[in-house]
Amino acid sequence: MERTTVRLSPELMRQAKRKAAADGRTLTALIEDGVRRVLSERVPPRAKRALPPVSCASGGLRPGINLDDFAALQEDEDIERVKRL
């Protein structure tokens, strides 16, 4: 049998002592039962992470689009928005 120190909050310690006394057993037995219960629980396997689909598109940018010119990109987007209205 191993000896160890367990640090519990004062309120949890009071509740554990009350529960052990009400059940007619020692605090050690209560803690052992709790550890056994947690260790016997089956942990559901983690779901596999879904990866986003990979595009098969080809071709590149529309003609006349320059990614280095943000102002032109913004202006093009604004024009497209106005056309939709």
The pLDDT value given to residue 53 = 86
Tokens found for residue 28: 């050690």
| pTM assigned to the model | 0.50
Q: Do residues 85 and 79 lie in contact, with contact meaning Cβ atoms separated by under 8 Å? A: no
52-73 burial code (b ≥16 CB/10 A, e <16) = eeeeeeeeeeeeeeeeeeeeee
Q: pLDDT (tens digit, 9 = 90+) per residue, 40-61?
A: 988 888 888 888 888 887 777 7
Residue ranges of the chain with per-residue pLDDT less than 50:
none
The pLDDT value given to residue 63 = 77
The pLDDT value given to residue 11 = 96
Domain residue ranges of the chain, discontinuous segments joined by +: 10-40
